């Protein structure tokens, strides 16, 4: 343990800043290990009182809490006043490439409605560096609530120069109390292998390339014939319970989930002979996992053990059912997993994927297992992911970069049209070369481990202006083909917004 200079500063944003520095001995410099505490504040004792004393001003005070100790109280009384925030500096350079877990307990009174969705009570990380600034946070409710946990995971970019934890009230009035702030290492930066393996890598199929689409949940014979007539040889078969990211699974128990899954598999079974006849290699995609997602869209199987158990049993059931089915290429264990809400004693996504793979392999040694990285399966999530210590795995990512273009006017319908190629997200010119740059970390990751890559989803909304959606899809497919990646377009006869037929 080495001493580290931590700077605590209370900023009255847009107004004046009070800057206080203290020496603290609560951090390790250099190599952090998984589980290490980076910073911890319980606001108890004389040291804490000296650190957070009344010099910080009347709006930020250490006060007695109603649990018998002290808490940090932050107020903002007037709508016209600057936001009230406290910043805790983290050792950014030692944290580069790792994920940290940010935990605090929070109580609030009379928090006004936030003017924008991101305003309100802040338990926020801010990272700063050449690749940009990020502000990951967990949204907390307005109004009045008793002690509750903020608990989430955020990534520290590889080029981070500063990392700050920000506590306070932004653009809302009211009073908030913080206690038991603790920042721990969730995972370390991925170690790159000194000598990457070479030679042919495992793909799990013998086609030169899988090209196809993710499909709607209830397609019939004619749909499959039409897709095959487009020369597709692959479908990503989404096992989806009536909606994404939210679905009836969010409120369903395990018995109801199992009943739904069985009904979805009965439909799949009925189409297997046709897919075999048409040469459509099927990837089973568990789009809706047991427990569904919580309001923050995190998978509930990282909160409740019964859903992790149900997940493992669901895959054992599917492995038994399909182990001899040659038209099935493999098993995509979870669509866009999010495990930021991991509860103590449960497996995180990677550990759960390892166990699921072992359970499947005990029954079905042959089919490929396809893994997406948490959170959300994007190119950066995969680039940060440490591959499983198991062979015959294909790794997958979904490509919707830049989201401002691909998802334009999906969630709000009056934003101005965004064209591709074009200037998107500030001053960046997005064209094929920019798409290549965004996917370069995946290519480097692939080279590190000599594994096969599958693009399980990519798309652009059909109302993107002019020829934009076509140009974007064409450039992406060119790049996938150049890299010898298999791909599935999102989506064939599912939602009209993602359809190339509308």
Ligand X SMILES: *[C@@H]1O[C@H](CO)[C@@H](O)[C@H](O)[C@H]1NC(C)=O
Interface with ligand X (CB under 6 A): 109-110, 175, 204-206
Burial class (CB in 10 A: 0-12, 13-18, 19+), 291: buried
d(CA 306, CA 297): 18
Adjacent-strand bridge partners of 6: 22
* Cα–Cα–Cα angle for 109, 112, 116, rounded to 5 degrees: 135
When the beta carbons of 10 and 176 are compared against ligand X, the nearer one is 176
| CB nearer ligand X, residue 318 or residue 327 | 327
Work out how close the CB of 9 gets to ligand X at its nearest, in angstroms, rounded to a whole number.
25
Q: Give residue 49's Cα distance to chain centre.
A: 37
For ligand X, give the closer residue by CB, 63 or 343.
63
Q: C-beta of 34: minimal distance to ligand X in Å?
A: 36
Among residues 25 and 110, whose Cβ is nearest to ligand X?
110
375 prior amide bond cis, ω within 30: yes
Q: 170, 12 in Cβ contact below 8 A?
A: no
Least Å distance between CB 357 and ligand X?
17
* d(C-alpha 221, C-alpha 98), whole Å: 47
Question: Alpha-carbon distance 114 to 469, whole Å?
Answer: 35
CB of 110 to ligand X, least distance (A): 4
Q: Cβ of residue 367: shortest distance to ligand X, in angstroms?
A: 8
Distance of closest approach, residue 174 Cβ to ligand X, in angstroms? 7
Q: Are strands 4-12 and 17-24 parallel, antiparallel or unpaired?
A: antiparallel
Report the alpha-carbon distance of residue 4 to residue 37 in Å, rounded. 13
The residues pairing with 105 across neighbouring beta strands, listed in sequence order, are 149, 179
Task: Quote the CA–CA distance of 492 and 223 in Å, as a whole number.
Answer: 9
CB-CB contact of 101 with 186 (8 Å): yes
Taking the C-alpha atoms of residue 358 and residue 275, their distance in angstroms, rounded to an integer, is 28
| Residue 404 near residue 425, CB atoms below 8 Å | yes
Q: Half-sphere exposure (CA, 13 Å, Cβ side) for 441?
A: 14
Rounded CA-CA distance 205/327 in Å is 10
Residue number with CB closer to ligand X (117 or 206): 206
143 versus 196: smaller Cβ distance to ligand X: 143
Distance CA 431, CA 320 (A): 45
The closest alpha carbon to 333, from 300, 358, 382, 369, belongs to 369
CB of 283 to ligand X, least distance (A): 13
Q: Are 117 and 139 in contact (CB under 8 A)?
A: yes
Q: Does residue 290 sit in helix, strand or coil? A: coil
Tell me which residue of 456, 337, 468, 487 sits closest to 406, measured CA to CA. 468
Interacting residues of 344 by C-beta distance below 8 A, sequence separation 6+: none
- Rounded distance between C-alpha atoms, residue 124 and residue 103, angstroms: 10
Contact 374, 381 (CB under 8 A): yes
Question: What do you get for the CA distance between the two ends of the chain, in Å?
Answer: 62
Distance CA 337, CA 351 (A): 13
């Amino acid at each position: 343990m080495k001493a580290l200079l931590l700077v605590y500063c209370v900023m009255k944003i847009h107004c004046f800043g009070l800057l206080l520095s203290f020496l603290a001995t609560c951090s390790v410099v250099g190599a952090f290990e998984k589980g290490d505490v980076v910073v911890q504040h319980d606001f108890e004792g004389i040291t804490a009182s000296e650190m957070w004393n009344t010099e910080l001003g009347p709006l930020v005070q250490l006060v007695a809490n109603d649990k018998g100790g002290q808490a940090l109280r932050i107020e903002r009384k007037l709508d016209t006043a600057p936001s009230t925030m406290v910043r805790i500096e983290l050792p950014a350079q030692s944290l580069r490439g790792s994920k940290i877990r940010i935990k605090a307990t929070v109580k609030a009174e009379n928090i006004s409605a936030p003017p924008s969705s991101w305003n309100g009570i802040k338990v926020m990380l801010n990272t700063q560096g050449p690749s940009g600034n990020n502000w990951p946070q967990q949204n907390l409710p307005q109004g009045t609530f008793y002690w509750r946990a903020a608990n989430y995971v955020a990534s520290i970019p590889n080029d981070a120069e500063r990392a700050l934890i920000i506590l306070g009230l932004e653009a809302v009035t009211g009073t908030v109390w913080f206690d038991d702030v603790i920042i721990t290492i969730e995972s370390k930066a991925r170690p790159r292998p000194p000598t990457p393996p070479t030679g042919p890598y495992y793909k799990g199929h013998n086609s030169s390339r899988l090209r196809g689409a993710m499909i709607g949940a209830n397609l019939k014979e004619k749909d499959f014939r039409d897709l095959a007539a487009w020369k597709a040889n692959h479908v990503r078969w989404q096992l989806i319970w009536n909606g994404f990211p939210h679905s009836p699974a969010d409120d369903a128990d395990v018995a109801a989930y199992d009943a739904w899954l069985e009904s979805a598999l009965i439909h799949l079974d009925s189409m297997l002979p046709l897919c075999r006849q048409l040469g459509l290699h099927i990837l089973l995609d568990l789009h809706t996992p047991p427990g569904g997602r919580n309001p923050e869209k995190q998978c509930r199987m990282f909160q409740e053990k019964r859903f992790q158990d149900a997940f493992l049993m669901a895959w054992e059931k599917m492995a038994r059912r399909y182990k001899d089915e040659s038209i099935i290429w493999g098993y995509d264990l979870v669509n866009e997993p999010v495990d930021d809400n991991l509860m103590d004693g449960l497996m995180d996504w990677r550990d759960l994927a390892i166990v699921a793979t072992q359970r499947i392999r005990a029954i079905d040694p042959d089919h490929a297992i396809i893994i997406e990285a948490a959170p959300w399966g994007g190119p950066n999530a995969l680039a940060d992911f440490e591959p499983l210590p198991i062979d015959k795995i294909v790794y997958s990512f979904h490509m919707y970069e830049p989201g401002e273009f691909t998802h334009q006017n999906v969630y709000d319908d009056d934003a101005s049209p965004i064209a591709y190629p074009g200037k998107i997200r500030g001053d960046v010119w997005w064209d094929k070369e920019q798409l290549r740059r965004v996917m370069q970390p995946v290519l480097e990751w692939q080279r590190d481990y000599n594994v096969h890559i599958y693009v399980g989803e990519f798309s652009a909304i059909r109302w993107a202006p002019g020829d934009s959606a076509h140009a974007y899809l064409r450039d992406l497919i060119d790049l996938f083909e150049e890299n010898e990646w298999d791909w599935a377009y999102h989506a064939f006869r599912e939602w009209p917004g993602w359809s190339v037929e509308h």
